[in-house]
């Protein structure tokens, strides 16, 4: 069974591009349009990797990260997260720290615009560390 990647992003073009790209590399891709739907999909799908946008309606990526630190979500705490966003890393880390008092615990951070080669390389590296 191929490793499953959950893409949580409100931009359908990004979701489509990532789906085509990652399915072409042999991964199964599922998606969610916002953080609330993303959390539901995490429970339903138990993905091997999450690719997460930060700026979304309903519940943003910061909220998803914050929720995953809750003990009730401990089953998914070790799921690797790649943030894929237009927000510069330093600014998003600072915002998260100010809101939560903690550092945003993600495995990788990619700034948009999307570079397919970078995404594939980072996904491969994380999946290799997991043994997938």
Length of the chain: 132
Query: pTM of the prediction?
Result: 0.92
List helix spans (H) across the chain: 12-24, 35-45, 61-68, 89-100, 116-130
Angle CA(17)–CA(27)–CA(118) in degrees, nearest 5? 55
Reported confidence tier of residue 94, pLDDT bands at 50, 70, 90: confident
Instruction: Please report, rounded to a whole number, the percentage of residues in the chain having pLDDT higher than 90.
Output: 74
Domain spans of the chain?
Answer: 4-130
pLDDT tens profile 26-66: 999 999 999 999 999 999 999 999 999 999 999 999 999 99
CA atoms of 114 and 54, how far apart (whole Å): 14
pLDDT at 132: 65
User: Looking at the domain that runs over 4-130, which CATH code has it been given?
Assistant: 3.40.50.2300
Structure tokens at 100: 């939560």
């Amino acid at each position: 069974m191929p490793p499953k990647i959950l893409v949580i992003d409100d931009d359908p073009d990004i979701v489509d591009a990532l789906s085509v790209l990652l399915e072409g590399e042999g991964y199964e891709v599922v998606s969610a349009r916002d953080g609330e739907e993303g959390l539901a999909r995490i429970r339903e799908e138990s993905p091997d990797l999450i690719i997460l946008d930060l700026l979304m309606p309903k519940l943003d990526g910061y909220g998803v990260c914050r929720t995953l630190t809750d003990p009730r979500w401990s089953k998914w705490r070790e799921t690797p997260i790649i943030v894929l966003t237009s927000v510069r890393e330093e600014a998003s880390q600072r915002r998260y720290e100010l809101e939560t008092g903690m550092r945003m615990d993600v495995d990788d951070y990619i700034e948009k615009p999307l570079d397919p080669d970078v995404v594939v390389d980072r996904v491969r590296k994380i999946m290799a560390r997991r043994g997938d």
